[in-house]
Amino acid sequence: MSSAETLNSTTTEHSVETYVDIRDLTVTFTGGRKPVQAVSGVNLKVKRGEVVALIGESGSGKSVTLRSVLRLHNPVRSKIGGQVLVGGEDVVAMSAAKLSSFRGKVASMIFQEPLLALDPVYTVGEQIIEAILRHENISKTEARQRALSLFERVRIPSPERRLDAYPHEMSGGMRQRAMISLALASHPQLLLADEPTTALDATVQIQILLLLRELQRELGLSVIFVTHDIGAAVEVADRIAVMYAGRIVEQGTTRTLLRSPRHPYTRALLKSLAHGSVAKGTRLETIPGSPPDLSNLPAGCSFADRCTLAQDACRVSIPEITEISPDHSARCFRLDQTMAAI
């Protein structure tokens, strides 16, 4: 058994209660010459204490979906449809005042590039303290002590000194740890991670992934983890949802998707990944073509033009989600042709 499978098989069992329930989410950007349908009817559930990874190529709608949970899109240039229920409350219908309280206190986000997410004119400690005071009725001294405790928890060396450092004075790995501290400052129950390791070197990536998994288990957090790196998803996720052209095309437990991927796109992604069974020097398979133009989506399956199994029906209508097993579903007309494991 691989280390990734061991990690997932030993995951602590949590309540089966659904904490996040995304229903028929659509996101359309209207600022350009043509409307861009970035997300088209996404349905996704996340249980309490569960980590769900959203994977797919750039432009598949992963980050757009994630940011919709906090309603971070410009309301003037975007339209959101459907529901995003977090703890039973619909984020899409929240007032501005309710949304302000929701962000940080109930759900918070770790951004891809902390150097851009953190304010360069304030120390990191000041920014974390401000976030704590925004949601907690405590003194500034108590808030600083909590910020220090957070730095210690994420294992930032010399935490007292680092609290008074500016973002540019910290390394990429330290900035990401500080970003995690900021996200956890007000004890949220939902953590949204938008490709948090992309800008880091390989060694630091592993450290951050292990830290996130450790904190998630310790605090019982629900996590939605966005990445284009299948290896990162395998290391941290209990379940994986695969996105393509704004739709979820397959989802299931991490073990199921690794062993029995059924959608042609999922299978193609896994075949393009180097792993232990691939002999050294072997040319990896690639996915021909490019993702479709989201401002001019085809009538049928968006993956049809790149799929080796496509037939006429695939180009005419969009397949519905088919339940393969209680914990595995896929959106494809040719599931009868995708039985063999990778």
- The pLDDT, as a whole number, for residue 251 is 97
Distance CA 190, CA 123 (A): 26
Task: Express each pLDDT in 193-230 by its tens digit.
Answer: 999 988 788 889 999 999 999 999 999 999 999 998 88
Q: Can you give the pLDDT at residue 199?
A: 75
Give the span between the Cα atoms of 146 and 283, in whole angstroms: 51
What integer pLDDT is reported at residue 231 of this predicted model?
87
Q: Which pLDDT score, from 0 to 100, does residue 286 have? A: 84
**pLDDT, tens only, 134-192:** 999 999 999 999 999 999 999 999 999 999 999 999 999 999 999 999 999 999 999 99
Looking at this protein, which amino acid is placed at residue 145?
Q
- Interatomic CA distance for residues 154 and 170, integer angstroms: 14
For the cut 60, the answer to whether the pLDDT of residue 12 exceeds it is no
Residue 252 class from Cβ within 10 Å (0-12 exposed, 13-18 middle, 19+ buried)? buried
% of the chain exceeding 90 in pLDDT: 78
Residue 317 burial (10 A CB sphere; 0-12, 13-18, 19+) = exposed
- The average pLDDT across 35-50 equals 96
In this model, does residue 49 exceed pLDDT 90? yes
Q: What is the pLDDT of residues 285-294, one digit of tens each?
A: 788 889 999 9
Contact between 156 and 178 under an 8 Å Cβ cutoff? The reply is yes
Residue 44 phi, psi dihedral angles, 5° rounding: -155, 135
Going along the chain from its start, the domains and CATH numbers come out as 1-106+189-287 (3.40.50.300), 118-187 (no CATH)
CA atoms within 13 A on the CB side of 51: 28
Does position 340 have pLDDT exceeding 90, yes or no?
A: no
Would the pLDDT of 15 be above 80?
Answer: no
- pLDDT tens digits for 228-277? 888 889 999 999 999 999 999 999 999 999 999 999 999 999 888 765 55
Report the SS3 class of residue 29.
strand
- pLDDT at 7 (0 to 100): 38
Say what the pLDDT of residue 274 is: 62
pLDDT at 342 over 70: no
- State the pLDDT at residue 276: 52
Confidence of residue 4 (pLDDT cuts 50, 70, 90): very low
| pLDDT for position 1 | 43
In the 8-state DSSP scheme, what is residue 150?
H
- The sign one gets for the Cα dihedral 172, 153, 181, 102 is positive
CA distance 47 to 63: 20
Start-to-end CA span in the chain (Å) = 16
* 175: helix, strand or coil: helix
What is the rounded average pLDDT of the residues 6-16?
Answer: 41
Decide if pLDDT at 2 tops 80: no
56-70: pLDDT as tens digits: 999 999 999 999 999
Mean pLDDT across 95-118: 93
pLDDT confidence of residue 284: 74
Rounded Cα–Cα distance for residues 166 and 319 (Å): 50
Element (H, E) at 76: none
Residues 6+ apart with CB under 8 A from 38: 27, 28, 29, 61, 64, 246, 294
Q: Largest Cα–Cα distance of the chain, in whole Å?
A: 67
